[in-house]
Chain A
Amino acid sequence: RKEVEQDPGPFNVPEGATVAFNCTYSNSASQSFFWYRQDCRKEPKLLMSVYSSGNEDGRFTAQLNRASQYISLLIRDSKLSDSATYLCVVNRRQTGANNLFFGTGTRLTVIP
């Protein structure tokens, strides 16, 4: 079973729409959680952390449900510039150190 599972999409939404991505993780020992963004043929970059209480960063809202091992990302008022692949990421200790484990990503295309 994969460490992190995501619906690969693609999600094609019109500008201004609200879109939600979900992710599940398999290891209950995972300690912290994040969303990364990856533009086409570019390197991944940290978008935001995910806290149990839920957190917002502008149009982006992230939530964590530890009991269900479930993470979500909500994007409101989608912009063309939001088109990218969104990677769900968990931090877990493996042998000697904490490492980040990435989902396969969910591809979003925002249409004019």
Chain B
Amino acid sequence: NAGVTQTPKFQVLKTGQSMTLQCAQDMNHEYMSWYRQDPGMGLRLIHYSVGAGITDQGEVPNGYNVSRSTTEDFPLRLLSAAPSQTSVYFCASSSDRDRDSGELFFGEGSRLTVL
């Protein structure tokens, strides 16, 4: 089972460059989300989606765009990378309508460095 697949695993960007982090899940989960993890800050929610065609902002959405054209894919776009976006990014999905079970399936993470 592939589960949640993120690519790339590592990326180095220069300030001002744009890029897309890819996320795909093969579990037919309606809910998908992107978090970033920084030392001392924990995991913070960037954007989430409750189904194809529906996206919404989390705690720290500025500088990021998302779209959800299919159930499987939820790409995260950095529009103009800044050093403050250096982080580990995790994509996560859930079949649980309201996350009452607490179970999110995470990808392995994408480590992004912006110079």
* Residues on A facing B (Cβ under 8 Å): 2, 4, 8, 31-34, 41-46, 49, 87, 89, 91, 94-105
Contacts and interface: CB of A to CB of B under 8 A. Distances in A.
What's the dominant secondary structure at chain A's contact region? Answer: strand
Nearest to A8: B40
A95 B108 contact: no
A42 B45 CA distance: 18
Given A96-B56, A97-B31, A99-B48, A43 B106 contact: yes
Interface of B: 31, 33, 35, 40-45, 48, 50, 54, 56-59, 90, 98-104, 106-109
Contacts of B103: 46
A46 B42 contact: no
Contacts of B43: 44, 87, 102
Given A96-B50, A97-B56, A99-B33, A91 B41 contact: no
Contacts, number: 68
B99 A91 contact: yes
Contacts of A41: 109
B25 to A, nearest CB: 13
A94 to B, nearest CB: 7
Contact of A98 (B57, B90, B98): B98
B104 A97 contact: no
A101 B107 contact: no
Contacts of B58: 94, 99
Nearest to B51: A97
Contacts of A89: 102
8 contacts: A32-B102, A43-B108, A45-B106, A87-B43, A97-B48, A97-B56, A101-B59, A104-B41
Q: Which of A31, A87, A99 has the most CB of B within 10 A?
A: A99
Given A43-B109, A104-B41, A34 B102 contact: yes
